[in-house]
Structure 1
Amino acid sequence: MHDCPLPCLADHAPPPRKTLGGWLSADQAPLPAANDEEGERLSSSLPEVIDAHVHLFPDPVFEALWRWFEQYGWPIRYKLRAREVAQFLLSRGLSRIVALHYAHKPGMARALNHFVAELCREEPRILGLATVLPGEPGANEILAEAFAMGLRGVKLHCHVQCFSPDEEALHDVYEACVRANKPLVVHAGREPKSPAYKVDPYQICSAERVERVLADYPGLQLCVPHLGADEFDAYERLLEKHENLWLDTTMTMAEYFTGDPPVRLLHCRPERVVYGSDFPNIPYAWDREIKRLSALDLREEQLAGLVGGNAKRLYGSE
């Protein structure tokens, strides 16, 4: 494991601004706000929509994250607190949201898990995931407690928590998820690459490393956000080869970054791709990505699975 506190909370001088990497294709950070128009609610012509990638954090963590994004990423359009985030999306036509969070230092995960579990008790339409810092003392107990509180899976972030997906410290997490039959969401794609991270994501993340996990743990349902950006070709091959791999669309289909959206990944194994937004940590309208997804040439059953049905299967919320 690498020694890596969350960059936005780190007690060190900020690094100079540099390019964020190939996926973002920016000469300097931060990237600009989109300033696009937002809808009042989802179109009534859409099938049931579940946002499988929504962040819910306590206020101080949200505030620190926003400071980091605005210096090294992009301006945050929706600076809403956790309960406001849920109310905002659910009042606009989404049927449920999947709440993600992550711990950046030992001893933080248990409090975050309790926080999200309480939000789920208050609002049953929130499907909350747990987190843990791989390798921290009592990791198995932390996850067992989180699952007992009703949390539906686990979220990890290689860039923030500074680990490679195939490291030894991850085995306890993988085994806990398999035992409990809970899915695992891991930001294991290489992008965004930022000098503000204490590790180089291109060194610790790769589709090859993820494939080792898929092969070693065939009973693990593993979801990689952002369609595995930026290794889209490699993740297309992994989708075809491994039945336990899932992807989410988060930010890749919104046409905010340069380059063509990897639409082919939606057609590769459409039953194992879910819609996600990254709300509220986005620089554009809340419904930008769902509008673009609904405008694609997808069969009715493909669209229904992508925007809601697949998430139901992944998180056992039929």
Structure 2
Amino acid sequence: MHDCPLPCLADHAPPKEAFGGWLSADRAPLPAANDEEGERLSSSLPEVIDAHVHLFPDPVFVALWRWFEQYGWPIRYKLMARDVVRFLLSRGVSRIVALHYAHKPGMARALNQFVAGLCQEEPRILGLATVLPGEPGAKEILAEAFGMGLRGVKLHCHVQCFSPDEESLHDVYEACVRANRPLVVHAGREPKSPAYKCDPYVLCSAERVERVLAEYPGLKLCVPHLGADEFDAYERLLERYDNLWLDTTMAMAEYFTGPAPLRLLHCRPERVLYGSDFPNVPYAWDREIKRLAALGMREEALAALVGGNAKRLYGSE
């Protein structure tokens, strides 16, 4: 067990209704923020690794943006994969962790080959693989991806319609443990949208994630968005399990309704990573990193949050 070093903060646990239904039918699409963006990261920041960047082939990006504009929020940066990489690296981001996911059987190999090719072109990309849980040959798909140099796996419960504790995930978990590769899985309940083919509030819960953490103690599991919206539950999991990581993506940007879950940044500061969700954001590319930098964290804690923890998780030191 790891005790959180700070007293409870008034804003660490937003009421569930504040985050529930980020993409509810009566609110979607959400508005653009139209906030000011910086030309590059501040020179006062420690090394920044963006641990949550999406890279897809052009047609997949176009389809994804079409979905977001109808059901989510307007995409501010409609950049294709190589332009995404150039944009972030030219503005002071040291490295990026590239994420993608397959929404139907038969896509994963091509997506993995695409990202592996980008990594060969630009060594500052730490590319992850994907697979559709339960699809034939899942173990072989991941073995091939790891053989191409991909650093882990990305899954998305909402898009791929699975629960973290389903039997179909065992092959994925075992492959990650065997290869010592981290798994990033969007297992938080938000954003909930009626446009998904499944209900993330039925599929996802911190309790289901805990079953995985307990059954696979050798699995390095990272849950994005600080586990939104079950922040209290993920704080307890952080205290209890040494194989859990979280990333901040969009949860600290102050775009959605409700106060930011600051407590999670201090509970186990060595287990939280900065991520942006770039380019699929409705606000300035540096919005979240500016807010993190303004929190007044100790220098070593900020350095771990914005870069050091990603290095350790992905073995890129």
Q: Distance in 1 between matches of 2:20 and 2:43?
A: 37
The residue identity in structure 1 corresponding to 2:250 is M
Listed as ranges, the gaps of 5+ residues in structure 2 are 1-16
Aligned residues, how many? 300
TM-score (norm 1): 0.93
- Whole-Å Cα distance in 2 between the matches of residues 90 and 115 of structure 1? 19
User: Offset at 1:22?
Assistant: 1.1
Q: 1:253 aligns to what?
A: 252
Counterparts of residues 167-246 of structure 1 (less than 5 Å): 167-246=166-245
Q: Deviations over 1:140-162 (max 9, x none)?
A: 00000000000000000000000
SS at match of 2:96: strand
Kindly report which structure 2 residues correspond to 1:1-318, keeping only aligned pairs within 5 A, or say none: 22=20, 24=22, 27-318=26-317
Q: Which has the higher contact order (CA 8 A, sep 6+)?
A: 2
The 8 Å contact of residues 55 and 100 in structure 1, kept in 2 or not, is answered as yes
What TM-score comes out, normalization by structure 2 length? 0.93
SS of residue paired to 1:44: coil
Contact 2:151 2:181 (C-alpha < 8 Å) held by counterparts = yes
CA contact (8 A) 1:23 1:258 kept: no
Percent identity for Structure 1 against Structure 2: 87
- 1:263-314 superposed Cα distances (whole Å, 9 cap, x missing partner): 1000000000000000000000000000000000211110000000000000
Which residue identity does 1:153 align to in structure 2?
G
Deviation at 1:25? 7.2
Superposed CA RMSD in Å reads 1.3
Residue 236 of structure 1, CA deviation: 0.2
Deviation at 1:28, TM superposition (A): 1.8
Structure 1 residues 140 and 316: alpha-carbon distance in aligned structure 2, compared to 1, 3 A threshold: same
Structure 1 segments, 4+ long, off by >4 Å, are none
The range that moved more, 72-81 or 19-28, is 19-28
CA 199–260 in structure 1, closer or farther in 2 if over 3 Å, else same? same
Q: SS of 2:265's equivalent?
A: helix
- Distance (Å, rounded) in 2 between the aligned partners of 1:155 and 1:109: 11
CA distance in 1 between counterparts of 2:315 and 2:272 reads: 15
The answer as to whether partners of 1:20 and 1:193 remain within 8 angstroms in 2 is: no
Change (3 A) 1:112 1:20: farther
Q: CA deviation at 1:21?
A: 6.7
Distance 2:151 2:159 in 1: 22
Give SS of 1:266's match: helix
* Counterpart residue type for residue 86 of structure 2: Q
Whichever residue aligns with residue 283 of structure 2, its letter is Y
Provide the rounded CA distance (Å) in 1 between the counterparts of 2:128 and 2:170: 18
Q: CA deviation at 1:24?
A: 2.1
Question: Quick one: which amino acid aligns to residue 257 of structure 1?
Answer: F
